Structure 1
């Protein structure tokens, strides 16, 4: 399932807390993006059509919750980036971030811990 960047902002709001009304989601994500409530509702409708979210009636409004797990989306997105930019290999990705100065000492420590787990 392909989720656009704008749709992912709506999904992040729903992953943080659900179920939520469209108005609640708009209150969180619209202003920082310069969107209107109508824009957020359009994004929610797109996500409904993609079956990434589901809706339940709550009186006169609908409450939305994610059907797509954040972990599944993150795995698919990560794989796409690694495949497209680094030929499916993770080492060149890490090397890129290392050379660009994006790895913090905490990142390096975490990578070492992960490698040690893999080697066990």
Structure 2
């Protein structure tokens, strides 16, 4: 799985919420000033090429649907975080977040479970 750019992640957040959508619907979800239709279309086409969405012709436009779930991507990012910044150590990651962000035990346990699952998938 590839990382998303900031623009791709902004668009994917909307696509994940809508499940299936057209470019114009994604544009309408952005706050003012809204990005150009062509800019969003370019990003959505890039997401299709990266395998995050499915693109299907629908008359003169296209419909895009989620191919990689938000949960799967979140797990990938959490696993990458542990692997790349904490040398694969869940306890180091938990300690860091507990000190700096004052996360609850439940939140830390959830993060660890997500990261463990993703690292297992990568093996």
| TM-score, scaled relative to structure 1 | 0.77
Segments of structure 2 that go 5 or more residues without pairing to the other structure are 113-123
Question: What is the rounded CA distance, in whole Å, between the counterparts of 2:40 and 2:26 in structure 1?
Answer: 8
1:113 is displaced (CA, Å) by 9.0
| Larger of the two Rg values belongs to structure | 1
- Correspondence for 2:51: 51
1:36 CA drift (Å)? 2.3
- The Cα RMSD (Å) is 2.5
Q: Cα gap change, 1:59/1:47 in structure 2, threshold over 3 Å: closer, same or farther? A: same
Supply the distance in 1 between the matched residues of 2:68 and 2:51 (Cα, whole angstroms).
8
**Paired positions, count:** 111
Kindly tell me: are residues 26 and 75 of structure 1, through their superposed partners in 2, closer, same or farther at Cα, counting changes over 3 Å? same
Given that 2:22 and 2:64 are in contact with CA atoms closer than 8 Å, whether structure 1 keeps it comes out as: yes
Verify the 8 A CA contact 2:54 2:65 in the aligned structure 1: yes
Moved over 4 A (4+): 109-115
Segments of structure 1 that go 5 or more residues without pairing to the other structure are 116-120
* Equivalence for 2:102: 103
Q: For each residue in 1:34-91, what CA deviation from the matched residue of structure 2 results, as whole angstroms up to 9, or x when unmatched?
A: 6322221111011111121111222221111111122221111111111111011111
TM-score when scaled to structure 2?
A: 0.75
Q: Aligned residue for 1:118?
A: none
Aligned-partner Cα distance in 1 for 2:67–2:83:
25
Structure 2 Cα separation of the partners of residues 80 and 47 of structure 1: 20
Displacement, 1:21? 0.5
How many angstroms does 1:110 deviate by? 4.8
